[in-house]
Amino acid sequence: MLNQNALISHLMSLGLLDADQLVNGCVDLSESSHRHCSYKIEPEYGPSYFVKIGTDQNKSKALENEALVYRLIHTKALNPLSNRIPKLYHYDTRNSILILELLKNRRPLLEGKKSNIDPILLGVELGEALSVLHQLKVPENKRTALKSSNAPWVLSIHEPTTNIYWSMTGAIKQMVRMIQSIPDFSRIFTNLRNLWKTSALIHFDIRSNNILVPTNHINSNDGNILMLIDWELARLGDPSWDVGSIFHDGLTNWLESLQFAEELLEDNRLLDLTDFPIENVHLLARAFWDTYIRHFGIKGADTEKLLHLSMMYTSARLIQTVFEKMRRSNELSIHATALIQVSLNIIQKPKDAATYLFGIHT
């Protein structure tokens, strides 16, 4: 793996940095918190760069996949979406180095203040971006190069192999046993796995951390609000998964701001003492949904079918969130138990979930 000096030399050899910037000591290089070895490189003038380096075979494959997706999106036909992702400067296959535009003066959606983002504007931009992504025609010679298009692993969580089961923490075993004890989960997750299709290029990991917004106050005249990052997991898959992921993210952000107590769960009540009100979830979800189906040209019975499937995937994403939060714990938390219950409620009454959780009426 390249050290910092070798990395600077590499960027110079590509013409991305020049000698004057180094001689004058005006290149700021800092390590970034990321699952890959990564750096922020900020010269005093000219473009700034975000560099990811693959440190093993799996991470290298992920970066290769991400580079391919950036190349697919940065085409003339996709200008609307190419303005919502970082620029790709270079991908070095041999050294597994991905060099992207560093998006300055931006932050993850829910980092810091939450009140300066209009949920309707954000929903509209998400709807526009995903409708363009999901209608992208991927050339046949690129389809086989994209990441595996298998159904999401969480759809098989009710059927773990013996080896996987005994490697789980106590909390995850509790969750699996709970899911296995409820026939609706097993039936619907198995059905979703069988219905999984590879009809579109999808992001696959839409969440607040992968949505960057301006750090300063914004309004409707500021142009693009959001930028979508971290395309390592992008693949050919079911567009409903991305749609469900948008719903899931708004819902979990609201649920995580609630205060849970044992007696409230027993009485099916939640104490809503939150600065992330459910009304914001409704505004964002409705704006996203209306924009997405309009730009995609979805109408009539197809709208109801897509919404139903998206609710099912919202439920699955909630279970995945519980797994991610509890994979190092020995006991399920009250909050995790509540998420499982909400997931069950959604798959049992998806139409009611769309109406009452997301403000969407069909």
In terms of Cβ atoms closer than 10 Å to its own Cβ (0-12, 13-18, 19+), residue 25 is: exposed
User: How remote is the C-alpha of 207 from its chain's centroid?
Assistant: 3
Minimal CA–CA distance to 241: which of 345, 358, 320? 320
Contacts of 22 (CB under 8 A, 6+ apart): 8, 12
Query: Which of 199, 192, 205 has its CA nearest to residue 309?
Result: 192
> Which residue's structure tokens are 């998964």?
241
CA distance 109 to 99: 23
CA dihedral for 188, 194, 195, 198, sign (positive or negative): positive
- Residue 281: phi and psi, rounded to 5, are -60, -45
Of the candidates 190, 297, 195, 304, the residue with the CA atom closest to the CA atom of residue 241? 195
Quickly count: other Cβ atoms within 10 Å of residue 232's Cβ. 23
In this structure, what are the phi and psi dihedrals at residue 151, rounded to the nearest 5 degrees?
A: -60, 150
Sign of the dihedral defined by the CA atoms of residues 39, 232, 105, 49, in that order? positive
For residue 100, what are its two tokens? Answer: 């992207």
Phi, psi dihedrals of residue 229, rounded to the nearest 5°: -125, 180
Question: How crowded is the C-beta side of 132, counted as CA atoms within 13 Å?
Answer: 20
User: Which domains does the chain possess?
Assistant: 4-101 (3.30.200), 108-356 (3.90.1200.10)
> What phi and psi, each to the nearest 5 degrees, are found at residue 267?
-90, 10
- Over the stretch 47-83, which tens digit does the pLDDT of each residue have? 999 999 998 999 999 999 999 999 999 986 667 899 9
pLDDT value at residue 256: 82
pLDDT digits (tens, 9 = 90+) for 115-172: 567 899 999 999 999 999 999 989 888 888 888 788 999 999 999 988 888 889 999 9
Reported as a single tens digit per residue, the pLDDT across 87-124 is 999 999 999 999 999 999 998 987 654 556 789 999 99
Residues 2-27 pLDDT 10s? 778 888 889 999 999 888 777 665 66
